[in-house]
Amino acid sequence: MKTTSSQYVASRARDPTFEKLMDKYKNLLKVVAIQDLILANPLHNPPPPSVSLEFLNRVSQKLHLNRGAAAFLRTYPHIFDIFYDPSKSQPLCKLTDAAVQISCQEAAAIGHSLPLVVDRLVRLLSMSVSKSLPLRAIFKVWRELGLPDDFEDSVISQNPNLFELRDAHEPNTHILKLVSAIPINTLLAAVDNWRITECCRQDCSVDRTEIRFSFKHGFPPGMRLRKIFRAKVKEWQRFPYVGPYEDMWEKKRSKSGMMALEKRAVGIVHEFLSLTVEKMVEVEKISQFRNWFGIDLNIRDLFLDHPGMFYLSTKGKRHTVFLREAYERGCLIDPNPVYDARRKLLDLVVLGRRGVFTSDSKLRDIGSSSKEEGLQGEENG
């Protein structure tokens, strides 16, 4: 009996650490969506930026706020402040001082990392068969790639020697293209860096020929690794493939040809995840690049086929994939300034309503102003 796609997803080995992390992230994503609406509102006069509860209630279904906007906002008084505006005769919502500070920290971190941002875009385009990608697809992952919200002006327009925008055949769509191909020897994939590090270790016991085409693996706790499965993984690890920045070979429909195409696809999605700020992305978002990267396989199944490299979570009504090797105990092993700022916001999400009515010393660094604003939001909500 053939296994359906949904059955395949349901049968995957669960990892409690990633599931617990995704439990937090599903609420963070809602918080970020509201935060973006607040910061993007041009009609805040005088400042600070705010949005009306009436507007948030209108979009609450789209934002998956099941109990309505007000109930959700009151759950996070360290992030949102509900107040009444007499001039508009309606309740509004703004960010607390703590949330504003975190937002500014993230923006500053992104601003300071523009050279890295340029490199990420170059690498993303270099993985494309045509060295070009639709701008709408990049917009979908701008946050994951740590791009500034004005990246068309601050990144693309500022680097005409690297990028150019072209009209697409579809209306209201542009194609971002590399001005000229980047030499392959200047683009080292993340997995190649790992291989070099492993080979250079003094206690390295792995044969260099063994690791030449290998990827780092770490399976979910409790996952049963049968002998036949281990043998297949070992065979797959040794199998040669074309790297994500190399030109594709001619596609062959033989068993070895299909295996080579599959491993190349794994190499591409592995590199894609390595380029993201938090080493995670929604499967739907990365799937938009499938044809442009020359991948003929189902992206989600690709992640499920390699549980030692990727972890797929279905929390929050979305499929999110994590790069397993980048995480330890639910945190990035090698954090970056943008991730650090976002993690602070996640900490406030996890905090929820705790600390609003207490003076616990551990909560003082959030700022007394946040506590006062949280209380004010409760009174005016």
Q: Which residue ranges make up each domain of the chain?
A: 41-104+339-380, 114-184, 189-331
Q: What are phi and psi of 297, to 5 degrees?
A: -105, 160
Under 8 Å between Cβ of 147 and 155 = yes
CA angle, residues 163, 166, 172, in degrees to nearest 5: 125
What's the confidence (pLDDT) of residue 273?
98
Q: Which residues contact 277 (CB under 8 A, 6 or more apart)?
A: 143, 144, 145, 146, 336, 338, 339, 342
Residue ranges of the chain whose pLDDT lies below 50:
358-381
- Residue 326, pLDDT score: 97
Q: Compute φ and ψ for 171, nearest 5 degrees.
A: -70, 150
Cα–Cα distance, 181 to 1 (Å, whole number) = 47
Is the domain defined by 114-184 classed in CATH 1.10.150? no
Q: What is the pLDDT of residue 373?
A: 39
pTM over 0.85? The answer is yes
> Which helix or strand (DSSP H or E) is residue 106 part of?
helix 97-112
Alpha helices, DSSP H, located in 113-253: 114-127, 135-140, 151, 190-200, 208-211, 227-238
CA dist 199 and 186 (Å) reads 20
Cβ contact 81:110 at 8 Å: no
Q: Contacts for 135-142 with beta carbons within 8 Å, 24 or more apart?
A: 135/165, 135/173, 135/174, 135/175, 135/176, 136/173, 137/288, 137/289, 137/292, 138/176, 140/285, 140/288, 141/276, 141/281, 141/285, 141/286
Q: For residue 314, how many C-alpha atoms fall within 13 Å in the half-sphere facing its CB?
A: 11
